[in-house]
Structure 1
Amino acid sequence: MRVKRVIAAVSAGFVAAGLLAACGGGSASGAEGVYSLHIMQPENPLVPGNTTESEGNQVLKSLFTPLVRYNDETSEVEYTGVAKSVESEDQMTWTIELNEGWTFHDGTPVTAKSYVDAWNYTALSTNAFGASYFFENVKGYDELQAADGAEPAATAMSGLEAVNDTTISVELKEPFAIFPVTLGYTAFYPLPEAFFDDPDAFGRRPIGNGPFKADEDFVDGQGFTVTKYEDYAGDNPAQAEGVQFKVYTELTTAFTDVQAGGLDVLLDLPPDAWATARDQFGDRYVERARPDITALSFPTYDERFADPRVREAFSMAIDRQAITTAIFTDTRTPAASFGSPVVEGYREDACGAKCELNVEQANKLLDEAGFDRSRPVDLWFNAGAGHDQWMTAIGNQFRSNLGVEYALRGDLQFAQYLPLQDDKGMTGPFRMGWIMDYPSLYNFLAPVYSTAATPPAGSNMSFYSNPEFDGALSAGNNADTLDEATVEYQRAEDILFRDMPATPLFYGLNQAVTSDRVDNVKIDAFGDIVTEEVTVG
């Protein structure tokens, strides 16, 4: 769950980053010391093309610098990364020019070939990378796809070429006006030659081009420490000597550690701290609207939830406002769109009545669909991340409003929960969280609900498939202007609400707290800690 969006003009109040004031003598300049940062266990080894969730993404953003970055207030593309420019005359054939002087942490140069080879490896179906879908619109992608056990017709996309060391040519299958906007995402990071020599070793100790470098292996369940890369070519070098990424299985444990000084930065708080952390931590508390969506997704492959009327009924049995007030103490906002409020094309009431509590209509729909109310429904969510209370509240509403009992299935850690979704292992409605990868409504639709994004190529965990929806996305991609593209993406969203493979629940709030050892802790527009800006006192 992580990064994608359209160029959006967002109000400064909505995305303005919070800075934590000096609190305990932290140095305001110069790199000094190592600080610790909480994460949960990443799902996969730390390879960019197969890292599609928040925990691994936080680590990789410290080790890599993308082709493009985004303005922190407007979300517009900025050429302050590796790319000097991304240009096209027809929105179909693109030329990416790279800045010179960038190197990987092993000292080898970052070249056009570093990108082309990485993207081909990610797209190749036999590698089963979760971000493969991001190259679906590149000419030749289809030839890299094959059914289980079969060999693809090709191992390199015909639409990709390293023209020289600093020029990449990308030919798409159809026009895609927002292509430059996508290039800040993890899947588009480069890979050094060392990766192809030993992918497994790389996954434990990634070799990037970012402000920090890995000098030791990542240990599952524990984490690792990365250190400042002295030869970093970017304009945002690390201000600390290093970051210790500490893996926790429970937010409550991490919160106790930051209170005691055993952890320096915690992003995301346990439920019992949501309402009190601001007052408790004072200068050491920061918050920012999270560019995300929490939804209740349905296993469309399960016979009980194959009928859209059933899915609509469960949606209309949920009182979102009551949960945001009683459980989240208004640190969440009820959602009625699949897109985040920070992206262009967002419509506040896109879902309409289907996301409003209507017990009578919900029961009528269940009766029409012949739903068996005598069997409990399983409610799935990952363990240790504070989801128990609100999922229990939803279950209680199903019991009260629909007469359907429920069983909580929240015993799997994040790294176990995601693969089970990929394997069609959900036996009932399940928590789905998505954080934008780049600023576009398209990013909240295509990677989560398009046919091309069904696992392992993408994150369509509901296994929803509708050619009409896919066609609307394609029409948006082929539009001549951003406004015309947005209209088609909204049409695609309307189709989703007709079929209801999932129902929106809440928009989040990033809340971070720190020890008194660190200053300048900032949450970026994607909801991540900007690790290179943190200073240690």
Structure 2
Amino acid sequence: MKQRRLIAAGAMFAAGAMALTACSSDSDSGSDGGSADSNASITLYSTKPENPLIPGNTNEVGGGNILDAVFRGLVDYDPDTAAPEMSMAESIESSDNKTWDVKLKADQTFQDGTPVDADSFINAWNWTAYGPNAALNNYFFASFDGYEAMNPADPDEDGPKKAPTPKVKELSGLKKVSDTEFTVKLASAQSFFPTMVGYTAFYPLPQAFFDDPEAYGKKPIANGPFQVTAGDGDSGFTLTAWSGYKGEDKPKIKEAIYKTYTSDSAGYSDVLAGNLDFMNQVPAAALVDNQYQTDRPDHFVNKAVGVIQTATLPQYSKNFKDDPNVGKALSLAIDRDTITKSVFNGGRTPATGWVSPIVDGYKAGACGEFCTYDPAKAKEYLAKSNFKGPFSFSYNSDGQGNKEAAEAICNSIKNALDVECNAKSYVDFATLRADVNASKMDNMFRSGWQMDYPHIQNFLEPLYATGAGSNDGHWSNKNFDALIKKANAAEGEESYADYQAAEALLSEDMAVIPLWYQAQQSVWSERLGNVKVTPKSTLDLTSVTATS
């Protein structure tokens, strides 16, 4: 990514990666030719958010999709290319990639009329970065000056202890210049900073959040094209187009209603019955013989997206701690080729590493021999391991294809290693994530990553750096951390070699097992037109049209 004034260019998709077919409408009318109605409402498949709708504490898709529709950050991402574009920011400039000057567009407001100004960004970022708030997106501020003072380490001299209370509550690297300008000083150079700050963790917050965080999390007051007008996580949320939005990406519909499902088959049945307008990923059963294309002719898409699925082995568990042999054995025992063909009808591509093929810097084969199915070698590594099973694989049953995939993974492990392996179901994603975030897992569990922003760093540092917010398995490697820091400071292709070297270190321990890269198979009703599935795997709500 070559640095530019105003904003870094952003990684584009790797040419030719996972080329797949797509069918969608690109007109301003409904798919079947009806007139688009700006007062139309549409319904979308959703899962229950893990937490209240607070940007700094949301790092999963159930809540993230809602927040991305109702908020706008300094930059937003093009729905076709994912390239970053100015949103709340007028400019983001730096001469050294370490100190950044941010100028905001004037007269931007939240949905309660209060200003989107420098304080709304600074206060929001300080809240997320303040250790005692225990925000899930806290780690995204680890590169900022003053982060360590706000997140003092647990001394851990006589076992785990509570970290001391920070003496400061504000990042020293954030300085207000005026109501429409502030500066950010980083501890080390970071060339992709302008790309990163469109992510959920960097959204601004109005004073209403600080006045009553609990009430705010139920019905956030945001600054984007939609506003939350009704609903909850159990049933879903109603988003209504906000008439005060000044951005160019104004909605062409009145409402987007996210309906919470605990079963993907129930959601798909609703699509076929005309009771649901959009389903982001069809169930595994609908992939067989491309049944979804027969069910919804001219109303589907099959598109490569920035998503990877993995299996995590918790390194805090005595079963896996300091034992790379068990992860290598399990990875060698998973027949990715057969599973992606039999469960997903070729709609997934076996992973050979931890970075999605659609971002620049991707290098095939980072996993080495360990992502190739080899039962004989798998047994050799299991014989050398301390833990030899039985194994289980935890998954959330509300996710499309998760049940079938989990069962296929365990069957493959059983057949290759002659050990017991059982698929363990959680009722929904929020329930699984609660145990994951509480470090309660003692065996394999389903994990995955939908890119936050289009950069190779996003598939590595937030997931595997020591103490990173989404490092669910608590893996740690000082050499990995050092390579990431070095790569972050470089620009464009100069950084790729170090990112790739860091990725290669993941194969030494196999604490996280790559499974497959994801293409997305979405379907929608006849009512929808101009359907765009973004590289982040979401429906672009500001482009879609609908008939009455």
Q: 2:527 corresponds to which letter in structure 1?
A: R
Larger deviation, residues 172-181 vs 419-428: 419-428
TM-score normalised to structure 1 length: 0.94
- The match for 2:24 is 19
CA contact (8 A) 1:10 1:73 kept: no
Contact 2:82–2:534, Cα closer than 8 Å, also in 1: no
| Residues 44 and 142 (structure 1), Cα distance of their counterparts in 2 relative to 1, 3 Å cut | same
Residue 135 of structure 2 corresponds to residue 129 of structure 1:
yes
Equivalent in the alignment of 1:460: 471
**SS of 2:298's equivalent?**
helix
The answer to whether the Cα contact below 8 Å between 1:159 and 1:170 also exists between their aligned partners in 2 is: yes
Could you tell me which amino acid in structure 2 is paired with residue 489 of structure 1? Y
Deviation at 1:85, TM superposition (A): 1.3
Query: By how many angstroms is 1:15 displaced?
Result: 9.2
Deviation at 1:234, TM superposition (A): 0.2
Aligned to 1:254: 267
3-state DSSP of counterpart to 2:523: strand
Q: Distance in 2 between matches of 1:109 and 1:136?
A: 27
Q: Per-residue displacement from partner, 1:428-463 (whole Å, max 9, x unpaired)?
A: 11111101111111111111111131xxxx111111
Q: Which residue of 2 aligns with 1:339?
A: 355
1:212 matched residue in structure 2 = 226
Aligned to 1:31: 38
Q: Which residue is equivalent to 1:61?
A: 68
2: CA distance, partners of 1:229 / 1:220: 21
For residue 401 of structure 1, report the CA deviation from its aligned partner. Answer: 0.8
Secondary structure, counterpart of 1:451 in structure 2: coil
Q: Which residue identity lines up with residue 31 of structure 2 in the other structure?
A: C
Identify the match of residue 536 of structure 2 among 498, 517, 526.
526
Instruction: Tell me how far apart the structure 2 counterparts of residues 365 and 12 of structure 1 sit (CA, whole Å).
Output: 36
Cα distance change, pair 470–228 in 1 and its aligned pair in 2 (3 A): same
Who is 1:84 aligned against? 90
Work out the CA distance in 2 between the residues paired with 1:119 and 1:136. 11
- Structure 2 segments unaligned to the other structure (5+ residues): 1-8, 155-161
CA contact (8 A) 1:26 1:535 kept: no
- Is 1:326 matched up with 2:339? no
Question: Against the structure 1 CA distance between its residues 515 and 71, is the aligned structure 2 distance closer, same or farther, given a 3 Å change threshold?
Answer: closer
Q: In the comparison of the two structures, how many residue pairs are matched?
A: 523
Which residue does the alignment assign to 1:106? Answer: 112
User: Could you tell me how far 1:25 is from its partner in structure 2?
Assistant: 4.5
Determine the structure 1 residue equivalent to 2:456.
Answer: 441
Question: Where in structure 1 are there 5+ consecutive unaligned residues?
Answer: none
Q: Kindly tell me: are residues 354 and 414 of structure 1, through their superposed partners in 2, closer, same or farther at Cα, counting changes over 3 Å? A: same
Once residues 16 and 396 of structure 1 are traced to their aligned partners in structure 2, the CA distance between those partners, rounded to angstroms, is: 31
Residue 381 (1) aligns with residue 395 (2) = yes
The CA deviation string for residues 95-121 of structure 1, in whole angstroms up to 9 with x for no partner, is 111111211111111101110000000
Moved more, 189-198 or 387-396: 387-396
Give the conservation status (yes or no) of the 8 Å contact 2:79–2:540.
no
Distance 1:445 1:269 in 2: 28
Partner of 1:354: 370
Shift of 1:380: 0.9
Instruction: Give the secondary structure class of the aligned counterpart of 1:237.
Output: coil
Question: Alpha-carbon deviations, 1:452-475, whole Å to 9, x = none?
Answer: 31xxxx111111011111111111
One-letter amino acid of the counterpart of residue 296, structure 2: F
Question: Following TM superposition, by how much is the alpha carbon of 1:322 offset from its aligned partner in structure 2, in angstroms?
Answer: 0.7
Deviation at 1:239, TM superposition (A): 0.6
Deviations 1:123-179 (A, max 9, x none): 111111110110100000111114536321210000001211111200000111111
Q: Write out aligned runs for 1:68-467 (5 A).
A: 68-79=75-86, 81-146=87-152, 147=154, 148=162, 150-216=164-230, 218-274=231-287, 275-306=290-321, 307-372=323-388, 375-385=389-399, 386-453=401-468, 458-467=469-478
Decide whether aligned partners of structure 1 residues 526 and 299 sit closer, same or farther in structure 2, where only a CA change above 3 A counts: same
1:290 match: secondary structure: strand
Distance 1:211 1:72 in 2: 15
1:57-108 C-alpha deviation (Å, 9 max, x unpaired)? 11111101221123455543322x1111111111100011111121111111
AA aligned to 2:501 is: R
User: What is the one-letter code of the residue matched to 1:229?
Assistant: W
Structure 1 residues 207 and 16: alpha-carbon distance in aligned structure 2, compared to 1, 3 A threshold:
farther
| Deviation of 1:23 (Å) | 3.1
1:337 and 1:149, CA in 2 relative to 1: closer, same or farther beyond 3 A?
closer
Q: Which moved more, 1:147-156 or 1:38-47?
A: 147-156
* TM-score normalised by length of structure 2: 0.92
Aligned partners of 1:520, 1:36: CA distance in 2, in Å? 15
Question: How well do the aligned residues superpose, as a CA RMSD in angstroms?
Answer: 1.9
By how many angstroms is 1:222 displaced?
0.4
- Measured in 2, the distance between the counterparts of 1:228 and 1:477 equals 38
Query: Is this contact kept in 2: 1:18–1:523, CA < 8 A?
Result: no
For residue 484 of structure 1, what is the aligned residue in structure 2?
494
CA distance in 2, matches of 1:343, 1:321: 23
- Whole-angstrom distance in 1 between the partners of 2:470 and 2:264: 25
- Deviation string 1:298-353 (CA, Å, 9 cap, x unpaired) is 11122222210111111111111011111111011101010001112111212121
Name the amino acid aligned to 1:504: P
> Percent identity at matched positions?
37
* Letter matched to residue 135 of structure 1: F
Cα separation, partners in 2 of 1:246 and 1:426, compared to 1, 3 Å: same
CA distance in 1, matches of 2:471, 2:83: 27
C-alpha distance in structure 2 between counterparts of 1:19 and 1:164, whole Å: 45
Shift of 1:9: 4.7
Q: In the alignment, does 2:26 pair up with 1:10?
A: no
Alignment CA distance shift 1:483-1:16 (3 Å): farther
Counterpart of 2:486 in structure 1 is: 475
Partners in 2 of 1:119 and 1:20 — Cα distance? Answer: 39
Secondary structure, in 3 states, of the residue corresponding to 1:508? strand
Following superposition, the deviation at residue 384 of structure 1 comes to 2.2
